[in-house]
Structure 1
Amino acid sequence: MVADISFSVESPEGNRKLSVSYARDGVGEPLLLLHGIGHHWQAWEPVIRVLAAERDVIAVDLPGFGVSSPLPEGVRYDLSTVGSILGSLCAALGLERPHVAGNSLGGLLALELGRAGLARSVTALSPAGFWNERERVYAYGTLKALRAGARSIPLPVIEGLSRSAAGRAALTGTIYARPGRRSSESVVAETLAMRGASGFHQTLAAGRSVLFRDDVPDVPVTIAWGTRDRVLMRRQGVRAKRAIPGARLVRLPGCGHVPMNDDPALVARVLLDGSSGRSGH
């Protein structure tokens, strides 16, 4: 089921309504899924069916991404603010401390929800925030190039490229290790999601000073990294393990920055294990 939900957020001009789009499926304990910058909830489609057999899965378009509305004027896209807004989203959806999993930006936000006591477990796939300055600059340059490409290539050309494995690699090979496996329709949709992401630049600006160095106590944490991640190098996982000593650190062999499509079975198993409490605590 794909739906929208509206709730109030504080802004400099008072309370404003924010509309968030989400897909929900399955039974069991709730599992909230958070995508990366410039993406949308459909990034999780390769694993949702498997997850839904054991979890109540809620995959959301983050504010300013996908078809969710941008944050109100004057509300920053910084970590604590967006984390608090996601807490309000959970309350609006009737989710009390869901399991939370995220990829890249979504992984960082998942860890923030864990740090704030708003998640019962956290699984972070290649989370942002464990970079050094050189690695951050490299990642930002890579993301800006993806955004520029998505905005400059005419739609008919995107659609044409998506029909061949080589074309899909040209469009999405930066984030997937196996871009040829992605469907033509998905590649077009995610390229347009990157093009239309209203929160892209504000999120990048807010993230320049982000370094996640706090522990996430009393919450089971799994951190997983693709061995072929070309956006956030896998050595950042070692830093994440130092910051969160109780976390389980998992290798995702042959997977890129967005691993759900590269190895759906492995990623689904990591997410189910991570949200079962079998994650190191």
Structure 2
Amino acid sequence: MSAHPALAAPRTIAVDGRPARYRDTGTGPPVLLLHGIGRSLADWDDQHRLLEAGRRVISVDLAGFGGSTPLPGRHTLETLAAWVSRFLDALDTDGELGAVDVVGNSLGGAVAMRLSVVRPDKVRRLVLINSAGFGATVTPALRLIALPVVGRVLLRPTRKTACQTERALFVDRAFVSRDRIAASLARGTQRGAMRAFREVVRDLGTFRGIRRTWRARLLAEVAAAEKPVLILWGDSDLILPVGHLAEARRLLPGATTHLFEKTGHMPHLERARETAELIRKFLT
């Protein structure tokens, strides 16, 4: 997708009086894109290009990540979902935004589900890409980050850790580029980013894995709401293993699902066109 024209530059909007960075392209029914932990709206550049024909595509840096200011309090699933709700309110200056379709990857998927519960009027349909929330198993690195002292050491931004992080996300090593490694390192050195990262990890899980309590409650609420759900997964995900897809099918039996072969944690990058085609078909 790099050969395509450059996207419009991200914008800034005030949420609770603090800057939030977002990108807004296209016109039509709105689609909101939410990234994973430690990531940014840049993960959605390809999807902006592929989905914006006939749709308004909005991506945002979650509070404490990318170019959005950290929250004054703790970063948790609850506070991030509430923040996204307020972001949508801030964006809806003319009162015409209405309900949005929400696409979330990893942490962004869990935030999307929580948003659909706390603001059912704002969320029409859900697309969950290798989403957190369906199983306890998670990469050992994230489990170690839940430990207070060890977590601080592991999260120290270095080129080596940035490279290891990017390699864990993709099957195709062509995606582990110098630019991506540099961007990963830059995100890690931004003020407040590591605090937000640690707080989210500790909220969602422990050294043993992702907590069952919040997962069971959230998925029961999502299932009861009966909103249309599309779940996509990469079969070679090292962060949230493919076994979570089986749980997703069991817990949300009405959901549409798709499994990508030879794909890691980020199908919206590694299988950009196929992902966009599946999303577009689902939304129409």
Quick check: TM above 0.5? yes
CA drift of 1:182 comes to 4.9
Change (3 A) 1:136 1:187: closer
Change (3 A) 1:124 1:142: farther
Tell me the percent identity: 28
User: Would you say the 8 A contact 1:63–1:70 is kept in 2?
Assistant: yes
* SS of residue in 1 equivalent to 2:169: coil
Count of aligned positions:
253
- Which deviations, in whole Å up to 9, do the C-alpha atoms of 1:22-47 show, x marking residues without a partner? 01111221110000000000011122
- Which deviations, in whole Å up to 9, do the C-alpha atoms of 1:29-77 show, x marking residues without a partner? 11100000000000111222011113211110000000100001xx332
Unaligned runs of 5+ in 2: 1-7, 206-210
CA–CA separation in structure 2 for the residues paired with 1:82 and 1:226: 25
Correspondent of 2:178 among 157, 180, 184: 184
Unaligned runs of 5+ in 1: 9-16, 162-167, 277-281
> Residues 22-37 of structure 1: matches in 2 within 5 Å?
22-37=22-37
User: Would you say the 8 A contact 1:147–1:195 is kept in 2?
Assistant: no
The answer to which of 221-230 and 265-274 deviates more is: 265-274
* SS of residue in 2 equivalent to 1:261: helix
CA–CA separation in structure 1 for the residues paired with 2:45 and 2:269: 8
* SS of residue in 1 equivalent to 2:266: coil
> Residues 182-221 of structure 1: matches in 2 within 5 Å?
182-196=176-190, 197-198=193-194, 199-208=196-205, 209=211, 210-211=214-215, 212-214=218-220, 215=223, 217-221=225-229
* SS of residue in 2 equivalent to 1:173: helix
For 2:238, give the aligned amino acid: R
Change (3 A) 1:21 1:264: same
Change (3 A) 1:246 1:235: same
Find the counterpart in structure 2 of residue 164 from structure 1: none
Two-structure CA RMSD over aligned residues (Å): 2.6
Find the counterpart in structure 1 of residue 239 from structure 2: 231
The answer to which of 142-151 and 231-240 deviates more is: 142-151
Find the counterpart in structure 2 of residue 269 from structure 1: 277
CA–CA separation in structure 1 for the residues paired with 2:255 and 2:143: 29
In the alignment, is residue 76 of structure 1 matched against residue 74 of structure 2?
yes
> Residues 28-107 of structure 1: matches in 2 within 5 Å?
28-72=28-72, 75-94=73-92, 95-107=97-109
Find the counterpart in structure 2 of residue 14 from structure 1: none
CA–CA separation in structure 2 for the residues paired with 1:58 and 1:189: 21
CA drift of 1:240 comes to 1.6
CA–CA separation in structure 1 for the residues paired with 2:276 and 2:152: 28
CA drift of 1:263 comes to 1.0
User: Would you say the 8 A contact 1:39–1:194 is kept in 2?
Assistant: no
The answer to which of 123-132 and 107-116 deviates more is: 107-116
CA–CA separation in structure 2 for the residues paired with 1:102 and 1:147: 27
CA–CA separation in structure 2 for the residues paired with 1:142 and 1:266: 34
Change (3 A) 1:241 1:195: farther
Correspondent of 1:151 among 147, 156, 160: 156
For 1:42, give the aligned amino acid: A
For 2:255, give the aligned amino acid: A
TM-score by structure 1 length? 0.81
The answer to which of 58-67 and 201-210 deviates more is: 201-210
For 1:30, give the aligned amino acid: P
Find the counterpart in structure 2 of residue 244 from structure 1: 252
CA drift of 1:19 comes to 1.9
Change (3 A) 1:252 1:65: same
CA–CA separation in structure 1 for the residues paired with 2:22 and 2:63: 11
